[in-house]
Amino acid sequence: MRRLISFLLVALVLYTYYNLAGAQFKKPSSEKQHKEEKVPCVVVKVYDGDTFKCRFENGEEVRVRLIGVDTPESRRNKKAYRDARRQGISVEEIIYMGKKASAFTKSLIPPGTTVYLETDVQMFDKYGRLLAYVYLPDGRMLNEVLLKEGYATVYTVPPNVKYAERFVKLQREAMLKGKGLWGER
């Protein structure tokens, strides 16, 4: 019940913000989208390489999950064991890589950083996290930076596929160059 209430509050905050401000989440008209077209949010805590908590201007806090990317787990859990079996490596190696990805994300969005959120078709995942493309203060998309630098893999879940082709291209380039975690495999 608490999760449902949180979900509804976040949905209401986003709806109110865009209706009062006259803004809306828009598909980018160019490679770089203006900050004014996205919702600002201040980072409160980074949980791991692809999930963090942020606070909207009205004080509401929400967990954010990056769309289209996945970073290794940084703690022992069911997914870490599943990924280890699937990749044929140890859980310790998964966790080691997860901690590196998490540290990289923390270096880009430490607490207090204002980021800008853009959603796709589906706004929340089954865990109640807001699904977003996250833009750094310098205009770069965090999702893309993680892929480009080799700290994430493409994880596309329809219907959120707006940048899927770009993400695949960035991952391929990072793999070929041995960047980030690709250099350790």
Active site includes 57?
no
Dist. CA 64–CA 137, nearest whole Å? 17
| Active-site hit among 3, 31, 37, 73 | 73
Are 182 and 80 contacting, i.e. CB atoms less than 8 angstroms apart? no
Q: What angle do CA 67, 47, 93 make, to 5 degrees?
A: 90
Dist. CA 117–CA 52, nearest whole Å? 12
Q: What angle do CA 88, 90, 93 make, to 5 degrees?
A: 115
| Active-site hit among 63, 65, 118, 149 | 65
Active site includes 129?
yes
Q: How far is CA 119 from the centre of its chain?
A: 11
Active site includes 73?
yes
| Active-site hit among 63, 118, 129, 144 | 129
Question: Any idea which residues carry the catalytic annotation?
Answer: 65, 73, 129
